[in-house]
Amino acid sequence: MRSFNYEMDYSRIKEIRIEKNKTQKDIANLLKINQSTYSKFEINKANITIEKLNELANYYHVSLDYLLKITDNPKIRMINKELDKKLIGERLKTIRKEKKLYQDTLAKDIGTGHSLISEYESGKRLISLTYGYAICKKYNISMDYLYGKINKNKL
């Protein structure tokens, strides 16, 4: 069903961890997960959730875009540290309308169904990292903007 092929690169979470002199165990404890699970994130053998990626971004004081190598600029002027499903849904709807897309078209573009887009836009569900990343890559949108961490879509 997927019509995109956007593979996320988590290698920067290892780079920044080492730069900050933290161990995998330190970060696993921060995220309240097993070290083995965290180590899989660093080598792209497991997918991290948007909630855990957001925790890392907040901990390191960097952007989601930076952690996922969408940008090389780590700086961010955050307005929100927490993820707000309602705000994120509103942002998605605004982006979709600006791009003149129907929910069905957006769903097809990222490899999901219309009903999931509807749930995202209504704030019933948090946009998964996989679909959020696909939206941002396909439409050249900042992850930090989509997820409500900044007010301007500046990539």
Residues 6+ apart with CB under 8 A from 83: 50, 51, 54, 126, 147, 148
Q: Where are the domains of the chain?
A: 11-67, 85-146
CATH among 1.20.120.420, 3.40.50.970, 1.10.1740.10, 1.10.260.40 for 11-67: 1.10.260.40
> Residue type for 60, please?
Y
Q: Is 152 exposed, middle or buried (0-12, 13-18, 19+ CB in 10 A)?
A: exposed
Helix (H) / strand (E) containing 116: helix 114-121
Looking at residue 1, what is its pLDDT? 42
d(CA 38, CA 25): 8
Topology match between the domains 11-67 and 85-146 = yes
The hierarchical CATH code for the domain 85-146 is 1.10.260.40
pLDDT of 143 higher than 50: yes
Could you read off the pLDDT of 8-44 as tens digits, one per residue?
889 999 999 999 999 999 999 999 999 999 999 999 8
* Tokens at 36, concatenated: 């083995």
**pTM: predicted TM-score of the whole model, two decimal places:** 0.90
Contact 65, 53 (CB under 8 A): no
